[in-house]
Structure formats: structure tokens, C-alpha cells
Amino acid sequence: MRIVIMDGSAANPGDLDWKPFEAIGNVTAYDYTPSDKIIERASGAEVVITNKTPFTEEIVAQLPDLKYIGVLATGFNVVDLKACADRGITVTNVPEYGTFATAQMTIALLLELADKVGLHNTSVKNGDWVRSTQFCYWLEPLTELAGKNIAVVGMGKIGSRVAIIAEALGMNVLPVPHTLKDPAKEYTFAEASKKADVITLHCPLTEETKNLINKDVLDTLKDGVFIINAARGPLVNEADMAQALKSGKVAGFGCDVVSVEPMKEDNPLLTSPNTVITPHIAWAPKETRARLIEAAAANLRLFTEGKPKAEINQVN
């Protein structure tokens, strides 16, 4: 079996290996594949593994040997699922490899907004504490999170883990599941967002959730709210968020994702105050990436054994 890994350096920049896939077939791994090389590199392969390299209808139509596309991620929007289904190509993803790491990043973003560790570390390294006449100082207001309301939007594996950590910090969790099961304990998005001191997003990107945070919603929120997005960039209307940050309506916005990645030079968040932005690295701890590779290889191995859709995480 010929296996081609299209953009392996995202998950494995050299600190891991491809042995789980090498145990299944003959592996060729590319660090990155530009669009004009996709068909050339994938030709003749029965299996391709992709993270962000797109497989559109036009591309899969030119790959008659292709039987399987393994997405080395949870999101699979880079693959045309219908085109693959029409051609008998199985598409799989890895749905739950990054729960702990993404929850950890969510809390890291929140703590940075609350305690401004990076700002004060830079200040100290620049000599401000050495020159200080007082034993301590702070450059901007700091926030104690205990007793604050946090709306956790999306109560899947990641959102549930974030809720546990937030409760350990003494916060009041307002859970917002996709579908209300217990209205006495759960909230709609509209209910929770209006009560929240912090809103953190952990829902999938759908037509319903695209631009979930927009001007109309922002106008209904408490003044000085913190908002965190470690889910999908388009959940937030970035122009509306930039305006809310400039006006002070939103006291801080922390995100690990943006609407277009890599981030564009004209993204309004780049010049917005009170933002903490990381380059989509919630999934990047070595332990997390190793788990991802193992899980993606397990999908493929089970596929070769003829296991059913649910066992191989088939998405088409």
C-alpha cells in the first residue's frame, strides 16, 4: 500500500516519526505540498494523509487509485466529502486527540488576559522593576476570576474540560450545550452571554454558529467582558470584535484561531488593543501531536481490516 503524507511538518516538524504509518504501508512524507504539486505527489497512492492540503472534487477526480483520505486533524473541511463518497473514497478524521491541550490553551489565554503575565515579564526584563521606587507595580488593571460567570459555549469534551478547570478557579460555569437537556442547569447562548463575565467558545463551525459573536451580540454583553476563541476563527466577526475592543466594550479577547490562516496582514485584530493571539498552537504540544499521529494511523489500520465506519472515524 502506498501512503503519501502531504503536509507532515505541521504535525511532525522533525521531533516525531511516521512509524505508525510505516507499519501499514510504504510511506512518502512531504513537509508541505503547494497546490500545483498535489496531483503529482498523490498520483498512484491508495492513501493520502492531509492536514490542510485540500482535496477538492477537481483533484480527487484525477486520482483514480485513491481509496482513502486520512485527515490529520479534527476539522475536515479541506476535503470534498461528496466527491469522495461518489468515488468510493473513505475520509476519516481524528475527533478527540486534543481535548486536554486545547482546554489548557483556553485557560492560558484567559489567565493572560486576567493577569497580564507577558506584559509584566517584558516590563521586568526591560528594567522597570529595577528602577521602581515601590516593591511592586502593575501596568494595567488585573482581574481576579473567582466568583466571575463564565459561559462555556459548547459542552463537548473540550468545553466540559474547560468547565472543570474554571470551577477549580472558583468561577461560576454557565454551560451552553448544543441542545438543552436540562433547562434548570443549562443555558441558551443568549441567556448565558448576557450574564457572563467571560465567554469561551468550544462549538463547531456551522452555518448556525458562523459569526456567532457579532455586533448585535456584543451590544447585549456586559461591559468589560473577556472573550476566548480556541475553536474556529469564523465563530467571531473580527471587524465587530476589533471595534468592541477599541471602544472598551470587550476588555480582552484571546484567540488561538482566526478567520483565515495563516493570519492576513489586514486582519483588524492585529492592531486591536487588549488582544492575546497565538498561531493555532493549542494542538501543538508534542504529546498531543504524537497522539494525533497514532490515532490517524489506527484509523487507517482499522480501515484495512474492514472495520465499520464508526470505528475508523469515517466522516463521509
* Catalytic residue from among 232, 238, 289, 291: 232
| Three-class SS state of 276 | strand
| Three-class SS state of 111 | helix
* Catalytic residue from among 202, 280, 289, 291: 280
232 is catalytic: yes
Q: Which residues, at least 6 apart from 22, have a Cβ–Cβ distance to it below 8 Å?
A: none
280 is catalytic: yes
2 is catalytic: no
* Catalytic residue from among 57, 140, 167, 261: 261
At 141, list the grid cell: 488593571
Burial 101-135 (b: 16+ CB within 10 A, else e): bbbbbbbbbbbbbbebeeebeebeeeeeeeeeeee
As a whole number of angstroms, the distance between CA 204 and CA 24 comes to: 32
Burial 46-67 (b: 16+ CB within 10 A, else e): bbbbbbbbebeeebbeebeebb
Residues with a catalytic annotation lie at 232, 261, 280
